[in-house]
Amino acid sequence: MTAVPTLYRVAMRVLAPLYRAKLYLKRAPTREIGERFGKDYATVRTTRPLIWCHAVSLGETNTVEPILQGLLAAGYALWITNTTQTGYARVGQLFGDELAAGTVYQSFVPVDNAAVIERFLAHVKPVAALFVETELWATTLAKLNQQKIASILVNARLSDKSFHGYQRAKRTSRSMMDNLTLIIAQDEDSAKRFRQLGATSDKIRVASSLKWSSKTNPLMIRRAMRLQEDWQLAPRRVIVAASTHAGEEALIWQAVQALPNARAVLLIVVPRHPERFDAVAEFFAEQTGNAVPRRSQHAAPSPQDSVYLADSMGELGVWYALADIALVGGSWVDIGGHNPIEAAVVAKPIIMGQYTQACQAIVDKLHDVGALQQAADAPALSTILADWLARPDAAAMAGRQGQALAKQHQDATYQQLAMILDCLDSHHERRVATQVRLIDNAPPPTQTDGKTIIDDFVP
């Protein structure tokens, strides 16, 4: 185990009580606070070997879900942790039956404090830990290594901006690279940056991004077809603005209003975070002069409504299936862009903003085949929208090109799952071999009367 730098450990010790105070001030549930500080966990009822998986929020949870399903099918149980409420809620939606059956457990992620992590690991007893994309905590990784528990960074991504951030804390970054067991990078650039941070080449693999593993959901398609009929949308063009953040709705609305045929367009807005639902509804009510129909209120848009607020969770596939054009948010503000593959798999032409560093490799591939365009501001966005709306055949062709590209990368889940399972097998073999060596080399214990005790070793 590579030790965690003292300065980092002191900082975490100072920050922990401040974080607890913040949770109290925001009136977080008592159980959530307990889980974040190593207490109040559900009782483990399974005899399966258990894998801990940490996914920060909604996007990471959706991304890693195919891998988790594969691990369940391989005979493992799962303990899933999240940082955000939306991620936690999504686990409940995806794994409701498994949570009830006791093959999946969930909690909020424990803070990166040695005592808290030790309590968490003592309760969960994982055989391995998976971390999605770039969620790394130095103390957690050190404790996993100390306890000979494999730690795997899945779908690992390291942007140039993040790389320079990690470089500023060289000793801490080096300790994390040393303590990780395996890094599955989603592109060669990320793999190179992990090596530059100190990860050895034998720890690094490269595979297609799990975001390519998004698949069409027949249930979502059927729901969309039913809504299109019930809402009488055939004469209208539907633009879906998905996973939007503060500031993006105003830009998108400006672009849509500038369209020559704006009255024939229905804009469906899907905010990324539920806590913004009411604020977005108020914004569009001010802009249109009318209350906005909302999914949460089971309202349907009338022919006179220009905006519909899809303020629900877990239905993004429905809205993409309903769209003529998909706008993917988190890209007109400096978030890095959300996953455009979810729109590509249902053959929708895609527009994103200039901030796509979180999924740049995917954006580049979709752009190269003509399935995705980027617009830096409202006028540029309006121009692209007007062109695709005026040329529906060209827009449909762009969508089909994206769908074909997505199908070419559908083996991403199998690639990464095979690497994970291979790592688990190898790590188990090394752990057993280490235990055998320790027993072979240790002096035999003796009873008080001097007689030697010889116990059979059972791995």
User: Is the distance from CB of 55 to CB of 64 less than 8 angstroms?
Assistant: yes
Residue bearing tokens 């603005």: 241
Give the span between the Cα atoms of 359 and 330, in whole angstroms. 11
* Dihedral angle, C-alpha 336, 337, 339, 344, nearest 10 °: -140
Active-site hit among 32, 35, 60, 275: 60
- Is position 60 annotated as part of the catalytic site? yes
Residue bearing tokens 């509804």: 281
> Strand, coil or helix: what is 217?
coil
Phi and psi at residue 357, in whole multiples of 5°? -65, -20
Residue ranges with strand state E in 1-125: 50-54, 77-82, 104-108
Give the span between the Cα atoms of 346 and 69, in whole angstroms. 22
| Nearest C-alpha neighbor of 152 from the set 262, 62, 251, 71 | 71
Phi and psi at residue 42, in whole multiples of 5°? -65, 150
Residue 17's CB is within 10 A of a number of other CB atoms, namely 10
Q: List residues with catalytic annotation.
A: 60
